[in-house]
Amino acid sequence: MNEGIAVLKVRDVLLVTMPADPDDATVSALQSRTLDAMEQHDVKALILDLSKVEILDSYFARTVAETARMVTLMGGETLIAGMRPSVAITATELNVTLGATRTVLTVDRALDLAGNLSRNKSVRKGRPWL
């Protein structure tokens, strides 16, 4: 059967993992679950882990792009991680895009990048260098 979305807070990053083949209800839950968790946890970045995802159709892609735009409005940054080759090929042929969202190869790399983001943000806020 279909498993759900896993939401995990790691330091100041929100890690959201999508299941292999989410139905429409699960895809639409992505938006509300993610935004609620962003508000609750005061995180700086969202990592959307697509490494399990076996199908990204136009509806799923549009929801991902919209969610990323909403996260931007809330002051966060979105990194999409782990898209499989077969999914990337198919999404390109289907002509779906994820907007201006940053993509990274793996969740590991996304976590590294998100760590840098938050350090830079503290610098911009005028905190002392350490």
Q: Where does this chain bind other proteins (CB under 8 A)?
A: 2, 21-25, 54-59, 62, 85-87, 89-90, 93-96
- Burial code of 50-77, b = ≥16 C-beta within 10 A, e = fewer? beebeebeeebbebbbebbebbeeeebb
Residue 46 and residue 76 in contact, taking contact as beta carbons nearer than 8 Å = yes
CB of 79 to other proteins, least distance (A): 23
User: Which amino acid, one-letter code, is at 31?
Assistant: Q
User: Which amino acid, one-letter code, is at 58?
Assistant: S
Of 92 and 116, which has the nearer Cβ to other proteins?
Answer: 92
CB of 71 to other proteins, least distance (A): 20
CB of 53 to other proteins, least distance (A): 10
CB of 124 to other proteins, least distance (A): 36
**Strand order across the beta sheet in which 6-10 lies:** 6-10, 13-17, 45-49, 77-81, 102-104
Of 1 and 130, which has the nearer Cβ to other proteins?
Answer: 1
Among 52, 41, 32, smallest CA distance to 14 is for 41
Of 2 and 40, which has the nearer Cβ to other proteins?
Answer: 2
Of 86 and 120, which has the nearer Cβ to other proteins?
Answer: 86
